[in-house]
Amino acid sequence: MSNIYRSNILKSQKRAYSEGTVLLEDDIWYFFEIDAEEESELDFYLHQELRLYRDEEWITGVLLEDGILATPYEKIRIENGDRILIKKSILFSLENLMEEISDDAFNQFITTLNNLNYSIYDCIFCHNHLVFLGNQKIKQGVNFITFDNGDEICAVQHHFTYYKKQRDRFEFTLSTGKRIVIENIVK
């Protein structure tokens, strides 16, 4: 599985973007997220991926200073009241973990997470023990990941052993009491 394939899977996740509108007030651009009760300065999202809704379509680009969206073809000035989507980031520790696991384990993990109505972008905590093991020959331990989809919480324990075989075991426990265990072994 290529990095592009993994990247496309991550981009297609639910809740990958924060949706809201923009407002220019006293020469400062503000972003009002639909699901939040507060605004943030749009400058906080400089040089991040953003989608602008214009003429009944979403235009993807990178946010520059002064409310400019740079697309591969043009630069577009954002206007007062425009509807935008801002690409969310994945927690750094979770992003590193996803890069470490095998393609099969990645696919099984994301599929199970999605089937439980969670997105990788719902992650609110990740302890990635793998980063503390460095270049050890035998890597073994547990990672702890917590997701919140707005309705329920999901705690995931990722038990791993990487030596002659790469063994990944994910134990999903929902706040409803539902539990699912998946395991992947790569020789």
Mean pLDDT of 36-55: 90
The arithmetic mean of pLDDT across residues 150-175, rounded, is: 96
pLDDT of residue 2: 65
Residue 106, SS3? helix
Tokens of 94: 């979770």
Bridge partner list, 4: none
> Confidence class of residue 63 from pLDDT cuts 50, 70 and 90?
very high
Mean pLDDT of the chain: 92
Give the best-scoring range by mean pLDDT among 24-33, 85-94, 166-175.
Answer: 166-175
Instruction: Evaluate if residue 1 carries a pLDDT over 60.
Output: no
Degrees, nearest 5: CA angle 71-86-22:
90
Residue type for position 161: T
Q: How far apart are CA 127 and CA 178, in angstroms?
A: 22
Domains of the chain in sequence order: 17-87 (2.40.10), 92-186 (no CATH)
- Lowest-pLDDT range, 7-11, 19-23, 53-57, 95-99? 7-11
The Cα-based distances of 152 to 114, 149, 172, 173, 185 in angstroms read: 13, 6, 12, 11, 29
Lowest mean pLDDT among 26-40, 49-63, 80-94, 118-132: 26-40
